[in-house]
Amino acid sequence: MPLHIVFSHGKESGPWGSKIASMVEHVKPLGEIHSIDYQDLKLPDERVQRLSEYLNGLSGNIVLVGSSMGGYVSTIASSNVNVKGLMLLAPAFYLNGYNVSKPTTRCKHVCVVHGWNDDIVPYQNSIEFAYEHKALLKLVNDAHRLAKSHAVLNAELENIITKII
């Protein structure tokens, strides 16, 4: 059964930003890579719709990776599609302007990575989500962009994938 690794970027980023490029390089031998471009959509729930429609065209095992707003988008989409793995990078949870105030997932393999020094999304939001979902939580000495944490991100994504394949 094929493995699809689907990336969703954040509000101010693009589909091939530095975090995504690093993770893609690390895991591309393990599955088919997809990175959705949301740059033409500003509202998170429009992005959820785009991702959900895209996922409906895939068959096989799916791992979603979402950064910031993309973490919200990936989580909401995972509640409607059978997703095997969910990796969230400083996910934009419990913030004003998002239709789902308490995001949930049915996914069993969930990892959240968040920076202690994030000045955009409070790390406490990830603690709350991880606690509610009994998810793996990695708090790192980094900021919102997780620019110093590529090695951690690569390792955790690989860990999720190896649990599935």
- CATH number for the domain spanning 42: value is 3.40.50.1820
Q: How far apart are CA 21 and CA 15, in angstroms?
A: 9
DSSP at 70: H
Domain around 84: 3-164
**pLDDT of 97 strictly over 90:** no
* Residue % of the chain over a pLDDT of 70: 100
Give me 154's structure tokens: 């690569």
Q: How far apart are CA 27 and CA 22, in angstroms?
A: 9
Amino acid, res. 100: V
Tally of domains in the chain: 1
In tens, the pLDDT along 21-73 reads 999 999 999 999 999 999 999 999 999 999 999 999 999 999 999 999 999 99
Q: Are 111 and 135 in contact (CB under 8 A)?
A: yes
Burial 51-67 (b: 16+ CB within 10 A, else e): bbebbeeeeebbbbbbb
Residue 135's contacts (CB-CB under 8 Å, 6 or more residues apart) are 110, 111, 112, 129
**pLDDT of 1 strictly over 90:** no
